[in-house]
Structure 1
Amino acid sequence: MNTLKTIAFLAISIFFVIACETNTTTSELDEISLSSTSENAKHANTFDVRIELVDRNGNPVGPNGLRGYFAIDQETGETFYPFRSEDHNVFKGLPQATYRFDAHDGYFDGASSQIVTLQQNMVASDGFIVVTLQYWSE
């Protein structure tokens, strides 16, 4: 019987210690909720972006010697890369922000960069925002 009382006392003591350590006030919960909501709202809109290359006359060209594309969020500095290597020119699910889209230059060729703020009214009928970079070569 003494052992049972000891176990019950320990269980209740542990419960109170845990409850006291994890006590969060309502105002703290509201603050956490508001910061999470504003952060989620900031990134609620995501966009799919496709890079297209054109020559100086506006004619479509392939990537030739370019070694890939990237996008840099102008506010955070975070760098994004295409979704898959097969779709070397497609970015999936970019959060709404302003990006500098660019290419890794090849040995004798490269592409201009383009700064774009992603917005819903830029989405084409195929679901993509098209960012056009001008290709150059020596």
Structure 2
Amino acid sequence: MEGLDILKKSLLSTIAVLTLCVVASPSVFAAEASPSTVQLESKVQADQAQVTELVVELGERKVYYGDRTDIYIQAHFSDGTTKWVSNDVTIGKSGGAYYDKQPGSKYAWIEPYRSGEGYFEFKYGGITKEFWFDIYPKK
């Protein structure tokens, strides 16, 4: 009978410890976010400015085969602010030129590897922008 009493006490102690854990730290056992947490996350996302447009400009009016040319890309945001993102964009499709990022500056370089037409597909902040340009034969 004594062994049964020890087993009961041990079982009751284990249940008490588990109950205390649940009461003291319910978030450990909760798998779903509470509605207030979801509302807070949605508000934070809504307060962050979204990219509305990418503006691309070349440093030179004409791009020549074999010559490097500066390229400037600026993101426009929903709150009216802008940011140079020439070195932060992701390049999707491209043709006719290499894209060479220049960290620490507001521009990047493009270097054409043939004459004809060149293009880049830039992606930043959920916006995709295709940019086409003419590549003239060597000077």
Please give the range of the TM-score, normalised by the shorter of the 2 chains.
0.3 to 0.5
The structure, 1 or 2, with the larger RCO (C-alpha pairs under 8 Å, 6+ apart) is 1
Give the TM-score of the pair, scaled to structure 2: 0.40
TM-score normalized with structure 1 length: 0.40
Higher strand share: 2
